[in-house]
Amino acid sequence: MAYLLDPLTTEKLTLKNRLVMPPMATSKCNEDGTMSNGLLEYYDEKSRGGHIGLIITEHSYISEEGMVRKKQLSVSSDQMVDGLKKLSDTIHNNGSKTVLQINHAGGAAKKEVTGLDVVGPSTVFVSNKSDEILTRELRKDEIHEITMKFRDAALRAKASGFDGVEIHSAHGYLLNQFYSPLSNKRDDEYGGGLEGRIRFHLEVIEAVREGVGKDFPILLRLGAADYMEGGSDVEDAKAAAIAFEKAGVDILDISGGFCGYIRPGVTEEGYFSPLTEEIKKVVSIPVILTGGIIHAETADRLLSEGKADLIGVGRAIYMDSNWVENEMLPLNK
C-alpha cells in the first residue's frame, strides 16, 4: 500500500514522492521552438521548493512535420540541447526530477503551420484538434525515418541532463494513431490486429533503448482507450502494456486516446483509474494515473486502493503553483 508522500524507487529512478506534474502544453517557447525565458520562468515557478517528485515536460516535437503549433518546444536538432539543458537545470536546481516528453503529431499537425504533408498510418480523416484533416499514409521507409528521429530526440534529452524520456502515444498523435483502429486502416505489418498496430511503438522503443543505453529511464504515455465505437479499449491497453514492458519501457503513463485527456461523460477525480487498475494487474513496472485529480486526499486514496503507483496532477497545478503547499504537504500533519 502506497501513499502520495511515499518515495518510489526503481532500478533506474528514485523519486522523493508519488506526485507527478504531467505534460501540459504552454506555447511559451520562442516562435521556432527554441527555449525562452518565459518557459524557464514557468517551470521554475512550478518546481520551486522541489516538492513535486517528477515533472514531465510538455511535448516537444522530434521533427518539423511532427509539430503541432508555433511556440511548441522543439527537440528536433542538436541546436536545441543548450536550451533544453537550461530547462533541466532549472528543475533540478529546485529539487525535482524531470523527464522530457517527445512527440510526433502525425494527423494532428497542420500544413499551414509546418508547410509539409500531414501524415499518418493511413489515408483517413483524422481530427487535428480543430477540424478534420485527410492524412497521407506513411511509407515504410518514412516510418523507419521517424523511428530514428525518436531515437535522436531521446539522445538529446539525455544530453540535456533529463532524468529520462517519455514517448508520447496518446491524445490522437502519431503513435496513438497507429495504436487506434479508428485511424489505422493499414493492411501491412503495421496494421490489422493489435500486434501490427503497436509494431511502430516497439521499433521506436527498441531504437530509443539502443540509443540511450540500458540505464536511462524510458517512459511511454499511452492513450489506452478511445472511448469511441470501434476504437481502442482496455483489452488493447493490457496487451500493449505487456508488450511495452517486455520491450524495455520502465514506467507507463496512462491517459486517453482520441478522446484526449478527458473521459467522455465522466468527471469524477481519477477517471482513467479503471484503465490503470487493469493495466497494473498485468505489468510489474510503475503506472501513472492522471485525470481530473484536484485533491491530495483523493490521490492518497487512489494510491492506497492500488489504482496506480504514481499520481499526475495537471490542471490543478497549472492553475495554482501553490497546490503542493495547500493540498499535499498538509497530509504530513
Nearest to 299, CA basis, from 10, 132, 208, 288: 288
In single-letter form, the type of residue at position 170 comes to A
Alpha helices in 15-67, H assignment, sequence order:
37-47
Which of 43, 173, 261, 271 is catalytic? The answer is 173
Cα 151 from Cα 211, distance rounded (Å) = 6
Burial class (CB in 10 A: 0-12, 13-18, 19+), 219: buried
Burial class (CB in 10 A: 0-12, 13-18, 19+), 260: middle
Cα 192 from Cα 309, distance rounded (Å) = 32
Number of other CB atoms surrounding residue 61 within 10 Å = 26
Query: Is the CA virtual torsion 323, 325, 327, 331 positive or negative?
Result: positive
Task: Give the rounded distance of the alpha carbon of 115 from its chain centre.
Answer: 25
What are the grid coordinates assigned to 64, written together?
518539423
Cα 130 from Cα 230, distance rounded (Å) = 22
Confirm whether 179 is a catalytic residue.
Answer: no
What are the grid coordinates assigned to 213, written together?
543505453
Cell match 468527471: residue?
267
Cα 179 from Cα 229, distance rounded (Å) = 15
In single-letter form, the type of residue at position 35 comes to M
Task: Report residue 325: phi and psi, to 5°.
Answer: -65, -40
Residues tagged active-site? 173
